[in-house]
Structure 1
Amino acid sequence: MIKIPLGITSIALDALPALVAVLFFSAPIAGIIAAFGHLISALFGGMPLGPFHLIIAVEMWAAVWLFAKLHQAGKHWLKWPAFIIGNGIVAAVPFYFLLSPAFFYASVPGLLIAASINAVVAALLMPYVLKASGGARHAS
């Protein structure tokens, strides 16, 4: 629910719970957590993009699904840039065509910052969550 204003968008920690959830849940379930996390965050932010938030929720699902698959495959150094690029750049591509090129170029810097903050905070929390839980099924 924490939002940090940044240009035409805001930074939210809506992906953070889903990134940490890969320690305990399968890729599809972690993706569902990401999708609902985004929808809840957007709802509390006033749904500024209206129904486009459903597209973003699907994109969040896909980005976290890939992150979880890479995590489960032991590709721990690849999962972070994959999430940041997927969430910060690739997810914005449909809006280049649906809204405008200007919206795409204006939103990507904020999205990259938001994805990076979500990833960094998740990376810092994951070892503590694992330790507190006594280990996890998908941990490595």
Structure 2
Amino acid sequence: MYGRKKGKKLKLTTKELVLVSVCIALTVIGSMIKIPSPFGTVALDSAPAFLAAFLFGPVFGAIVAFFGHMLTALNVGMPLTVLIHLLIATQMAIVCSIAGLIYKKGYFVLALISGFLLNGVVAPATFIIIPQFGMPFFTAMIVPLLLGVGINLAVAAIIVRTLRGRVRL
């Protein structure tokens, strides 16, 4: 695990800082590849976050996911307000860290399935209880979100399988 020793603070090396920065930059590129949705915020921006979670660990995945979503939201003009996008970015950070933890335990397929369900169903379901969103928001967003997270996870999975054992990170 990068930059961590048991009982020590998280301290990024220069290499780790560069890798995380590159992943965040890739989220910006991915944010420009949109999947049609009612609010225009579903994009191919979480693949680098899942990739970071799988290759560098859950903390790095969470960092990339949080900043990646915020940059995606900025790219489309924060259509759901800053507070809602902060909530979504936090959800993404949690989802990527959970997927990274499961991957770290050696369960790659389970990590992909959990990322798919948490990001595609559980996270948007939390909006059902928010009065301005409710069930109509969930219903409108479920298909684009499932399609988006499926593509993002497929891209991350292909890259992880390709790099694993070939590149020393």
Task: Determine which structure has more spread, i.e. the larger CA radius of gyration.
Answer: 2
Greater relative CO, 1 or 2 (CA 8 Å, sep 6+): 1
Q: Which residue of 2 aligns with 1:12?
A: 43
Tell me the secondary structure at the aligned position of residue 79 of structure 1.
helix
Q: List aligned pairs for 1:1-140, cutoff 5 A.
A: 1-10=31-40, 11-50=42-81, 51-98=83-130, 99-130=133-164, 133-134=167-168, 136=169
Alpha-carbon offset, residue 2 of structure 1? 2.3
Alpha-carbon distance in structure 1 between the residues aligned to 2:54 and 2:120: 22
Output the amino acid matched with 2:139.
Answer: Y
Superposition misfits of 4+ residues, deviation over 4 angstroms:
none
After alignment, is 110-119 or 124-133 more displaced? Answer: 124-133
User: Which range moved further: 91-100 or 79-88?
Assistant: 91-100
Q: How many residues align?
A: 135
8 Å CA contact retained: 1:9, 1:110: no
Residue 129 of structure 2 aligns with an amino acid whose one-letter code is F
**Unpaired stretches in structure 1, ≥5 consecutive residues:** none
- State, as a whole percentage, how many aligned pairs show the same letter: 30
Q: Which runs of 5+ in 2 are unaligned?
A: 1-30
- What one-letter code is carried by the residue in structure 2 that aligns with 1:21? A
TM-score when scaled to structure 1?
Answer: 0.87
Cα offset, 1:23, TM superposition: 4.1
CA distance in 2, matches of 1:103, 1:75: 32
Give the structure with the higher percent strand.
1
